[in-house]
Structure 1
Amino acid sequence: MEQEKSHFKPSLKLLDATMLVAGSMIGSGIFIVSADITRNVGSSGWLLVVWLITGFMTLTAALSYGELSAMFPKAGGQYIYLKEAYNPLISFLYGWSFFTVIQTATIAAVGVAFAKFTAYLIPALSEDLVAVNLGFISISPAQLLAIAVIVLLTYVNSRGVSAGKTIQTTFTVAKLLSLFGLIVFGLFFLDKGIWKANWENIWHLGALAPNGNVTSYTTFAALGAIAAAMVGSIFSSDSWHNVTFIAGEIKNPARNIGLSLALGTIIVTVLYLLTNVMYTGVISLHDMAYADKDRVAVSAANHIFGTVGTMTIAVMIMISTFGCNNGLIMAGARVYYSMGKDGLFFKKVAELNKNAVPGFGLWIQCIFASLWCLSGKYGDLLDMISFVVVGFYMLTIFGIFILRKKRPDAERPYKAFGYPVLPVIYIIMGLAFCILLIIFKPKFTWPGLIITLAGIPIYYLIKRINVPKPLDLEAPERAVG
């Protein structure tokens, strides 16, 4: 029994791992962010180019991570890869950013998205109402529902990986089928007039104004506009690497992690492209860019299904966000577990509960995500952290080159596809994205960078606190045996 408590149980098959990849990627983004992308690029052709670039980067990164996951099939994923390629400080900064914002704020954002669309069916849960007024803060029913969902999914996952696996696979299959159904219905009810208008001048790159005018960019500003547009598509395509965090619970991880990364990202990338093609066939570019509260999918569903469109898309997004949050919650605690093992986080997060999962890590993640729900600031922070997320992806992929030099004889059951060309292309594209954001959208960069760098003094403080005490050589030896 003690053996079961101290080790993860490998119980996830290839299908489960693939559904975790796809399910963690598909949340609320694909239903919303195309509005901001369209405002930035102003044409259907460039809308798809932004999604294609993001899809290429995501798939390239996933194929590169396959080598690392096969080399280090341990709980913690990217945290472990950064530690092995660089040093504990770099991996801690990733883990610090992951806990403070990347994972917990994402869980909050997805939870509130679930609540917002539930309010379409149950207006009493609206974010515009006040459920609790504490004077210094007003809490809406939507925020309370978001917290309740996070607590529920945390409890389910604390009961063991099998329960979380069932929810993940079931909800991911449901949302893949729902999104595919929306695409099919949308293309079937395609409006030929709208389609023709949207695809007449497909390569005119410019800012789409509320009055319908498209203002052309200079060449350099055009690159900045594409980078700004990609903030939304990268957010929508992120979290694909969550499967690497639970490597200790996947059967045959050396094979199945890399394969699930490839399969999951390909499935989602194709669905995202088809969804945007469908959007351009049912609503005008102007209506897409200036949809109410950026809810592009709601506008499309109203065109396809009529008055029941809002309810249809609300149910779809509820399914999507519920399954997405389950994957995020399940995977996140494994990073804190690895940090705890290294003495860089609460010691208790390095312990598994009686169900062989990091229960304490799950619950502190729950508390922090719930606080983000109450703050109302998670949306801004998620935009700001895109810069940091891509930065850590670049560092991790560059780590492949470092490890090939440091450990040339290490066992590599799988080698990065297209090495060294594809990893280099990703690093160049990621670097260009980050530099352009610094120049054109500084508000998306500096806050996330500051949060990350704030981890440096905390790292050295933790190291100082956890320095082993010197042995007392004069103390009498304890009897052994």
Structure 2
Amino acid sequence: MSETKHHLQRTLGLFDATSIVAGSMIGSGIFIVTSTMAKDIGSAAWILVLWLVTGLLTMTAALSYGELAGMMPKAGGQFVYIQRAYGRMVSFLYGWTVFTVIQTGVIAAVAVAFAKYTAVFFPELNIKIFAIGESWDFTYKQVLAMASVVLLTYINTKGVKTGKTIQVVFTSAKLIALFSIIILGLYFGLKTNIISENFTDMWHATRTIVDKVDGKVLSVTELTGFALIGVMGATIINPLFSSDAWNNVTFIAGEIKEPQKNIPRSLFLGTLIVTVIYILANIAYMSLLPVDGIAEGATVIEKGIKFADQERVGAAAASVIMGNIGVFVMAGLIMVSTFGCNSGLVLSGGRLFYAMSKDGLFFKKAGELNKHDVPAKALWFQCLWACVLCISGRYNDLVNYCTFASLLFYMLTIYGIFILRKKEPDAERPYKAFGYPVIPVLYILVTAAICVALLIFDTVNTTAGLIIVGLGVPVYYIFMNKKVA
């Protein structure tokens, strides 16, 4: 059968689309980053405020994207929206950044987290295969991370129904497990006085600097005024990363039934579900563990959220509920969570590169569908680069690169609503952005302030993100002036 007869099949309903939104968002972050936030901000109230602000920002962006999704229910999603508002070059820069950093970077970060927690059961994964200098090791964890990406890519080349099944099963499993942790955490935690102690002086904010080698406290700084605002703007990248990838459902618009209705609905429902879960999970953590703690503490309660071993605050909370076995239960949960998360990321990302190829802005082979009506070669291109990023094994660097770059293009896309309202006032809009123009403007302003804070407090990583975006300019002209095989 000729390949030209193959086309994307609309087989995904509202439940499937919502599962992809929620499943792509929930990975490893919710089980880890609260410990980092506790070091940065040191306040129970401000930590919850940042998670709430993140949820509101994410839901606001999702509701705004609903208008664009209704107008352009095509494979490629955000790439298509940006091109219609700004033209081919800007859309290519987005696609280039998604390929080099955003999508593949998140896939790599989640795969590294999957391998890290698998090592709880199989410590042999920590064995070095070889090292370069004192700062970089290649271990079996990186091998496992890459293997997991390859496996998920292979599964998703077998058809969207296969990928959908994996996504629905793993998303359902981790939602049930997370709600169990929340319910048990609140049940046991509220019997103690830990939560009342956490909220006794809940607005008192401090920044704790810890030695990365031995874990000893180097300094503790009181935070007030602009210093507090700046640190909050920088540390919010942690919950933002944990809530990212909600837009992936727009990439697969070509395979969703009634996309004009189901994509906006799934964006709202998925982001709402995850926001509620994240806030409740953090309240459960604070019911079981003190926010502050002692770096040299002998127990998980003495260490608290701030000094949880390897920042595994989820594992620390589970161990309070179930004892030592809780560490293994939580590790298993995170393995399920990260594997399911990456399934959705792999499934969605390939569709974006397929759309780019069809527009002449990516390798031609990526625009071909296999016998299962899946852009298999686009998936394998994505897999190859994600595996390269897995080699670094540096979870935090991958987080910073992809989240900052994502924020830049989220702002740009939402501003595109204003451009298209002016350029195409009569275009069909089955759904209009909630609270337009006030809500979209607020999102842009708040996100811009966060990006400025990140540039100030994390200059190296954010500048690297900007350089990667900028490198897309000469690559764009290569694609425009030369046929890329």
Fold equivalence (TM over 0.5): yes
Measured in 2, the distance between the counterparts of 1:135 and 1:217 equals 39
Q: State the Cα deviation string for residues 222-277 of structure 1 (Å, max 9, x = none).
A: 11111111010110000001000000000010000000000000000000000000
Q: How has the CA–CA distance of structure 1 residues 447 and 410 changed in structure 2, closer, same or farther, with 3 Å as cutoff?
A: same
Q: Of residues 348, 355, 371 in structure 2, which corresponds to 1:354? A: 371
Write the mapping of 1:241-280 to structure 2, written as runs, cut at 5 A: 241-280=247-286
Q: Specify the alignment match of 1:111 in structure 2.
A: 111
Tell me if the contact between 2:106 and 2:398 (Cα under 8 Å) persists in the aligned partners: no
Amino acid at match of 1:252: E
Q: Choose 111-120 or 174-183, whichever is displaced more.
A: 111-120
Amino acid at match of 2:155: V
Q: Specify the alignment match of 2:246 in structure 1.
A: 240
Q: How has the CA–CA distance of structure 1 residues 198 and 218 changed in structure 2, closer, same or farther, with 3 Å as cutoff?
A: closer
Write the mapping of 1:7-46 to structure 2, written as runs, cut at 5 A: 7-46=7-46
Quick check: 1:129 aligned with 2:130? no
Tell me if the contact between 2:251 and 2:351 (Cα under 8 Å) persists in the aligned partners: yes
- Tell me the SS of whatever aligns to 2:434: coil
Measured in 2, the distance between the counterparts of 1:272 and 1:439 equals 27
Q: Specify the alignment match of 2:404 in structure 1.
A: 387
Measured in 1, the distance between the counterparts of 2:130 and 2:204 equals 49
Measured in 2, the distance between the counterparts of 1:320 and 1:91 equals 31
Q: Specify the alignment match of 2:57 in structure 1.
A: 57
- Tell me the SS of whatever aligns to 1:207: strand
Quick check: 1:183 aligned with 2:182? yes
Q: How has the CA–CA distance of structure 1 residues 344 and 185 changed in structure 2, closer, same or farther, with 3 Å as cutoff?
A: same
TM-score, structure 2 as length reference = 0.92
- Tell me the SS of whatever aligns to 2:207: strand
Q: State the Cα deviation string for residues 330-358 of structure 1 (Å, max 9, x = none).
A: 00011111111111110011111111110
Tell me if the contact between 1:19 and 1:169 (Cα under 8 Å) persists in the aligned partners: yes
Unaligned runs of 5+ in 2: 211-216, 293-303
Q: How has the CA–CA distance of structure 1 residues 309 and 51 changed in structure 2, closer, same or farther, with 3 Å as cutoff?
A: same
Q: Specify the alignment match of 2:232 in structure 1.
A: 226
Q: How has the CA–CA distance of structure 1 residues 209 and 438 changed in structure 2, closer, same or farther, with 3 Å as cutoff?
A: closer
Q: State the Cα deviation string for residues 196-234 of structure 1 (Å, max 9, x = none).
A: 210101112332466699632241111111111101011
Q: Specify the alignment match of 2:291 in structure 1.
A: 285
Quick check: 1:162 aligned with 2:161? yes
Write the mapping of 1:54-453 to structure 2, written as runs, cut at 5 A: 54-124=54-124, 126=125, 128-130=126-128, 132-133=129-130, 139-190=138-189, 192-208=192-208, 215-286=221-292, 287-377=304-394, 379-453=396-470
Q: Choose 222-231 or 323-332, whichever is displaced more.
A: 222-231
TM-score, structure 1 as length reference = 0.93
Tell me if the contact between 1:5 and 1:353 (Cα under 8 Å) persists in the aligned partners: no
Tell me if the contact between 2:77 and 2:250 (Cα under 8 Å) persists in the aligned partners: yes
Percent of aligned positions that are identical: 52
Q: How has the CA–CA distance of structure 1 residues 114 and 414 changed in structure 2, closer, same or farther, with 3 Å as cutoff?
A: same
Alpha-carbon distance, 1:461 to partner: 1.9
Measured in 1, the distance between the counterparts of 2:407 and 2:183 equals 33
Q: Give the number of equivalent residue pairs.
A: 464
- Tell me the SS of whatever aligns to 1:215: strand
Q: State the Cα deviation string for residues 348-390 of structure 1 (Å, max 9, x = none).
A: 1111111111010001111111111123245313213322211
Measured in 1, the distance between the counterparts of 2:2 and 2:434 equals 40
Alpha-carbon distance, 1:87 to partner: 1.0
Measured in 1, the distance between the counterparts of 2:52 and 2:237 equals 14
Tell me if the contact between 1:350 and 1:358 (Cα under 8 Å) persists in the aligned partners: yes
Measured in 2, the distance between the counterparts of 1:219 and 1:386 equals 26
Measured in 2, the distance between the counterparts of 1:396 and 1:363 equals 27
Measured in 2, the distance between the counterparts of 1:5 and 1:228 equals 49
Amino acid at match of 2:267: L
Tell me if the contact between 1:352 and 1:359 (Cα under 8 Å) persists in the aligned partners: yes
Tell me if the contact between 1:5 and 1:356 (Cα under 8 Å) persists in the aligned partners: no
Tell me if the contact between 2:3 and 2:368 (Cα under 8 Å) persists in the aligned partners: no
Unaligned runs of 5+ in 1: 468-481
Q: How has the CA–CA distance of structure 1 residues 398 and 212 changed in structure 2, closer, same or farther, with 3 Å as cutoff?
A: same
